Structure 1
Amino acid sequence: MARTFSRLLRRHQVLNDIHRIPINKRTIWQRLTFKARASAFTSAVGKRYAAFIPVGTRLSPTIRFGHAFNGVHIAGNARIGEHVLIMQNVPIGANMGHARDTEAPVIGNNVFIGANACIIGRCVIGDGAKIGAGVVLVNATIPAGAVIVNNSAYDLTNDRSVYSRSRS
């Protein structure tokens, strides 16, 4: 399974390299096959892992997924740092409810994201933060080194709720 997983990550990287080339600078072969290859990749990831990682998503080579990437959904414009560990069933996406909330999360380096955590909207997660299992973050700012637990996003390092201040 690890071989298959690493092969899928390599395919994702190759497709991203082609995706970054402006359309008018791509070779004929790249123009003709890109859409089909991207669709085949997304389909393979969806069938094998029940996950969704669009081709435009930039994944670091040091990113790690617990239990492959079963159930992980990552928005195409999300930014994920180096040495991040993401457990299963974690959506990381943009809040499409309002036009102003279409920004996706920014996740720093050396972050742990527990199983079934939800990170939605303009979330900024600092370096070295630990997000516990089942935590729901919507448009939240998490400081570097914070430990967030509970579905109400309680910060153990600062002994307060993430949402205790007024939200704007």
Structure 2
Amino acid sequence: MVSKDEELAHLKKCLQKEVIKNTGAFSWISVIHKALKCPDRRFNFWWRIANYLHHVSNGQSIIAKRINWNLRIKYGVEVELGAVIKEGLSLVHRVGIVISRHSVIGTNFHVLQNVTVGVVIREGDKTPRIVIGDNVTVGANSCIIGSDITIGDNVAIGAMSFINKSIPSDCTVYTPKMDNIVKIKKSS
């Protein structure tokens, strides 16, 4: 169990990197200024606040659920409350992204559009988790789905990939396409 002080320190570290985007001293005024001034940083600001409230209230915060619901409607992104994501979350082209609450994700997680990170829950199994290391990039239209999957550090997952097994650190993974040539036949 993480204390409220540790949760607050994590929140500040994430807001510093994702919203303020500098290495200077943390300031709530700077965070709010950047969240208002830079629309591309608002999702991260509000999701980090909602996830913080969710964690410190043991999942009982109505405000956190409401904020997350509004984010889903406005951005078309569902990062479930309860997911553990370290600083450096980058959601590029925020549409169709789904990240399960059973995810534990390291620093500098870079995700493109239409990506799913989800778990398969089988009857009788312990709660499954997907653990993703540091410096991982997931290409557009990819799915990471399974039970107890671990993806190592410094991994690049290519576009339109389906990942259902663990991946070691320091590699590039993609799902090969059988026939990617478009054939056009003219009618006579």
Residue in structure 1 matching 2:117, options 92, 98, 101: 92
Match of 1:20 among 51, 55, 67: 55
Partner residue of 1:118? 143
CA offset digits 1:39-81 (Å, max 9, x no partner): 32222222222221122222333111111x2111011120111
Give the gaps of 5 or more residues in structure 2: 1-35, 178-188
Identify the match of residue 46 of structure 1 among 60, 64, 72. 72
Percent of aligned pairs with the same amino acid: 26
- Indicate the larger mover: 83-92 or 46-55: 46-55
State the shift of 1:9 in Å: 1.7
Instruction: Mark the CA change 1:100 to 1:142 in structure 2 (over 3 Å): closer, same or farther.
Output: same
Cα deviation for residue 5 of structure 1 reads: 4.0
1:10 to partner: Cα distance: 1.9
The 1:72/1:2 distance shift into structure 2, 3 A limit, reads farther
Structure 1 window deviating more from structure 2 (44-53 vs 109-118): it is 44-53
Q: CA RMSD in A?
A: 2.4
Q: Give, in whole Å, the separation in 1 of the partners of 2:114 and 2:123.
A: 24
Does residue 98 of structure 2 align to residue 73 of structure 1? yes
Give 1:62's aligned residue: 88
In structure 2, what is the equivalent of residue 109 of structure 1? 134
Runs of 4+ in 1 over 4 A off after TM superposition: none
Q: For 2:174, which of 142, 149, 162 is the aligned residue?
A: 149
Q: Which residue of 2 aligns with 1:8?
A: 43
- Structure 1 unpaired stretches of 5+: 24-30, 153-168
